[in-house]
Structure 1
Amino acid sequence: MDKILRVASENGVVIFSKTTCCLSYAVNVLFHELRVDPVVYEIDQDPEGREMEKALLRMRCNSPAVPAVFISGKLVGSTNEVMSLHLSGSLIPLLKPYQSQVYHSS
């Protein structure tokens, strides 16, 4: 849990993901379209990944562990929460400090 909170607090926008998670990929694509370059932390590539996944499950009340999206060090939620915020117009104000004026997609 400490590692999750440290990574989330040291970076503006973080997506905790697994390399095979298509929903994490979809959230990442959305953020790129909104000119935000999130840190994508692949927990299945970390030796402590299983512990991180358990901690994310506890934080999210047994919702799927990934994607877990943090903005400004705060847990926003998963794909459903991010998309709901986006559709309601509440996501962009949260992301504004992290948007690039000139964004080059790769």
Structure 2
Amino acid sequence: MDRVFQLAAERPVVVFSKSTCCMCHTINTLFFDFGVNPTVYELDHIPGGREIEQALAREIEHALARHGAANDFPVVFIGGNLVGGANEIMTLHLNGSLSGMLKRAGALWL
């Protein structure tokens, strides 16, 4: 999990994704529509992706399950902090707080 947090801390928005996941595509498109260029790691296409996927699954189970979050992909980090998956990102977008998070992380300058 150290590698995951290291990768997540390198950029304002980091998405751990799978190329075959429609919700991953949807969340990445949302960020692009905001004008944000997330760093996307397609776990089914990178070396060590399976190990990262397993580490993320364990972390999600522990950190997000307490809040009723789903244990699925994408897994999004904003400003180095684990935010969650598609449900959490869409909730933040719909309640108007996603843009503020993106600005504070330095991913959005509007």
Q: TM-score, normalised by structure 1?
A: 0.88
SS of residue paired to 2:30: helix
**1:23 counterpart residue number:** 23
Which digits, 9 at most, give the CA deviation of each residue in 1:31-63, with x for residues without a partner?
Answer: 111111100111111221111111111111171
Answer yes or no: is 1:92 the counterpart of 2:99. yes
Q: Within 2, Cα distance between the matches of 1:42 and 1:32?
A: 16
2:94 maps to a residue whose letter is: L
Query: Contact 1:36–1:100 (CA<8 Å) still a contact in 2?
Result: no
Percentage of matched positions with identical amino acids: 48
SS of residue paired to 2:44: helix
Q: Within 1, Cα distance between the matches of 2:28 and 2:50?
A: 22
Q: Within 1, Cα distance between the matches of 2:36 and 2:102?
A: 7
Q: Within 1, Cα distance between the matches of 2:87 and 2:25?
A: 14
**1:76 counterpart residue number:** 83
After TM superposition, what 4+ stretches of structure 1 lie above 2 angstroms from structure 2? none
Q: TM-score, normalised by structure 2?
A: 0.85
Q: Within 2, Cα distance between the matches of 1:22 and 1:81?
A: 16
What root-mean-square deviation, in Å, do the aligned CA atoms of Structure 1 and Structure 2 show?
A: 1.3
Counterparts of 1:4-43 in structure 2 under 5 Å? 4-43=4-43
SS of residue paired to 1:44: coil
For structure 2, the residue ranges without an aligned partner over 5 or more in a row are 66-70
